[in-house]
């Protein structure tokens, strides 16, 4: 079976995928599109304990703002893939978990 060339296909290499063991969130770069320093991403979250438990959004965000969001909302989450944000903008400890300085 072959798929038409115009269908969307994304996976985690080169993107971001985080989990806390119960929920997962991922951001996938779309088209490499830029708009005023922002990149176009597909944001996918799976949170079975919430309703709705599965959400998909197309967003524009700067890599720095995405790093800020991850630092604010995902402390303690485990990193499966962490690309698309400036190197060092998200602190990851030796257990591969997001760690936020309280300073």
Q: Do 16 and 84 touch, CB atoms closer than 8 A?
A: yes
pLDDT at 73 over 80: yes
Which stretches of 1-103 are DSSP H helices?
Answer: 63-73
pLDDT of res. 14: 86
pTM for the whole thing? 0.85
pLDDT digits (tens, 9 = 90+) for 41-68: 999 999 999 999 999 999 999 999 999 9
Longest dimension (CA), the chain: 54
Helix (H, G, I), strand (E, B) or coil at 37: coil
Number of neighbours of residue 92 by Cβ within 10 angstroms: 14
Residue 63 has a pLDDT of 92
């Amino acid at each position: 079976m072959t798929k038409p060339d115009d269908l969307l296909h994304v996976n985690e290499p080169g993107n971001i995928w985080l989990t806390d063991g119960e929920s997962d969130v991922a951001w996938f770069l779309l088209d490499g599109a830029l708009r005023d320093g922002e990149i176009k991403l597909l944001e996918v979250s799976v949170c079975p304990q919430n309703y709705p438990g599965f959400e998909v959004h197309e967003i524009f965000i700067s890599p720095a703002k995405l790093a800020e969001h991850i630092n604010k909302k995902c402390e303690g989450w485990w990193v499966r893939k962490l690309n698309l944000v400036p190197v060092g903008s998200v602190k990851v400890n030796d257990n591969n978990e997001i760690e936020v300085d309280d300073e």
